Structure 1
């Protein structure tokens, strides 16, 4: 710092009024990115305004009457002092002992530093280059990840290392998530999905699969299953009857016995993953219902009918079973409740499988009326009907919206029994 600049800093540092004024100048420069704007005089005491007024050659009372202090005016006045060769920006930098930059520039520099940090991780963990490229190209979509990087860069780097290890050691055959976590990291809870590490892991898998990160349990389970990882293979189950199943060794003896004895099976994922084929004991039609009471009643009247009960929303086990049935050439006859969720499930099946594989069963306008809908739907649930776009469901969705009430399949059981020729 040259002598003139050092003298200027000492002079303005000698008065509290100038210290306070310069702090306001600094804030204004950070906001505008240039010398400009004004500082309100109300921020200063009468004594402080006397000091500042003396710099401008006017009394403090006149300074107060102006209502504000022009920063550009201060710089012009500086030219009339013994510090005329010093610009205000140069003086402010020296006064605060740092180069003052705008908030915008500071933000840009911070973002540039974060991007360089991620680029370095990309070089270090090359197997995850596809994911780091996604982060760099889609920062707005994964703002929470960038916030995590900014807040705890060292922690993120450690998690990135574990993600690389996990990606390099994906299971070749079905493996439970805790066992996978133990094998990769030594910690069975490392990839628990409520943790940052688990959320990052889902993000990696979704990016590689070319899909959005799933937000509901069913979709999360499907994504993990795509990579041979299972969260829960005992409590995730589906109910069925009248179906045969095969393994690589041939007919599964338990499924064969269940058909022979007309026994209903509750089948967890654990038992489904070993099956190579599932099909009806007779014919090619399989009846799919949402409600366990309806399923039980149908079995009372039609023992041995090939039937699947989803027990509400589709579990991963239910979808795995239905996938196998479609693969074997079956036709799925689906009957759900007349509420937004039931129509949503029907639409999902229609979109999941090829045309002709799914036939709606008592899910048209006439069936809705026959269900005697009496349960009023909330505005929030009615809004879900706007997501029903499949042509096979559009009419009944419109009628439901107009009526504003839900109907349930229990009211249609007698007709459903008649439909099943057994």
Structure 2
């Protein structure tokens, strides 16, 4: 820095009325990457405008009529002061004690630094090579991971080391997520899915197992559980359960499961946890090939009050992995699944998801326009919930969705139990 530039910087730093001007000059340079542009005079107090006007050799009234301060003209005006010959960019650097760079240059420098950092990590942990490539090329899904690398590189590197260790030691047999986490990190909660490490672990698994391009990152409980299951990891195998009655099962050895046999013979309802389902090779109805599936436990229990021997499943709300695994095994037995859910936006989404999963085996059960009307819709729906109907594509469900938009109300399957019983008894 030359002596004159240093003197100019010292002068302006000692005059507080120029502080706002220099801060605005910095913002403008960082924004456009050059000396240029204008600054609105509304950003300055009257006293500050007096000081700025003095640099131009003009009155405040002249600046007010113009409405802006031209930065190029300001640079030229410096030549009419005792600081003639001082470059405005050099003056800004001296004033702030650092070389100013544009936001674009900052982004490019940060991107280059992160790329170099990730390339070094990829060489150290080659088992994650595909994942490193994914997070750098992903347009949106991987950005938050890059922000983690930028914000706290040391912590990020520690997490990468744990991810590499986890992938190297994925279980060959069923293992619960907390036990897997304890084995890999000595912390049973390290891979909890609300943590950064847990989320990154899902991304790693998705990249490793996904054939889709772009990679499908799981969002729902169902898809997350399914992804973990591909690596023999289960989040919760006790509280993840399904309610069912009048179904029989065969274990991995090919033997009839005695508990399922006893509950089927006595028409007893059982809540079956995922822990027990994973040990089965077959599940099938105690009679026939039809299985009735309802969303609500109250409806399930009421139907069983009148018809104790019906093969029935209650999902108890959103589909848990336990329910889906039971249905997967029923499909292998070529069963037909008759599904009835609530006639609200979420219920229609669940029905469509089930239909898309088993298109040749699912029959919608009292989920058409007629059923919606018979349910006497009365529950007002918010616009946010009604917006969920835009995702519905199934022809019959879209018919319900259109009617729901018009009424703005939801219907519920409890109102349709009598109709359901007629179907069951005539089947």
TM-score (norm 2): 0.86
Q: Residue 398 of structure 1 is aligned with which of 398, 402, 405?
A: 402
Q: Residue 384 of structure 1 is aligned with which of 370, 384, 388?
A: 388
User: How large is the Cα RMSD of the aligned pairs?
Assistant: 2.9
Q: 1:334 to 1:22 in 2, by over 3 A?
A: closer
Equivalence for 2:104: 104
Q: Residue 410 of structure 1 is aligned with which of 411, 414, 426?
A: 414
Post-superposition CA distance 1:240-294 (Å, at most 9, x none): 1111111122211111111122211110000000001111122211111122222
Equivalence for 1:174: 174
Report the CA distance between 1:30 and its aligned residue: 2.5
Is 2:167 the partner of 1:162? no
Query: 5 Å matches for 1:208-223?
Result: 208=208, 209=210, 210=212, 211-223=215-227
Q: 1:364 to 1:23 in 2, by over 3 A?
A: closer
Query: 5 Å matches for 1:241-390?
Result: 241-249=245-253, 250-355=255-360, 357-390=361-394
**Counterpart contact for 2:251–2:281, Cα < 8 Å:** yes
TM-score (norm 1): 0.87
CA distance in structure 2 between the partners assigned to 1:139 and 1:352 by the alignment: 28
Report the CA distance between 1:142 and its aligned residue: 3.1
Is 2:151 the partner of 1:151? yes
Report the CA distance between 1:22 and its aligned residue: 5.5
Q: Residue 234 of structure 1 is aligned with which of 232, 238, 247?
A: 238
CA distance in structure 2 between the partners assigned to 1:253 and 1:72 by the alignment: 88
Structure having the higher Rg: 1
Post-superposition CA distance 1:59-86 (Å, at most 9, x none): xxx3544426654345445667897766
**Counterpart contact for 1:139–1:146, Cα < 8 Å:** no
CA distance in structure 2 between the partners assigned to 1:285 and 1:329 by the alignment: 9
Post-superposition CA distance 1:153-197 (Å, at most 9, x none): 111111111111111111111111100001111111111112111
Does 325-334 or 140-149 show the bigger shift? 140-149
Secondary structure class of the residue paired with 1:276 = strand
Report the CA distance between 1:49 and its aligned residue: 3.3
CA distance in structure 2 between the partners assigned to 1:45 and 1:373 by the alignment: 67
Secondary structure class of the residue paired with 1:372 = coil
Query: 5 Å matches for 1:67-78?
Result: 67=63, 70-76=70-76
Count residues with an aligned counterpart.
412
Report the CA distance between 1:10 and its aligned residue: 3.0
Report the CA distance between 1:90 and its aligned residue: 4.2
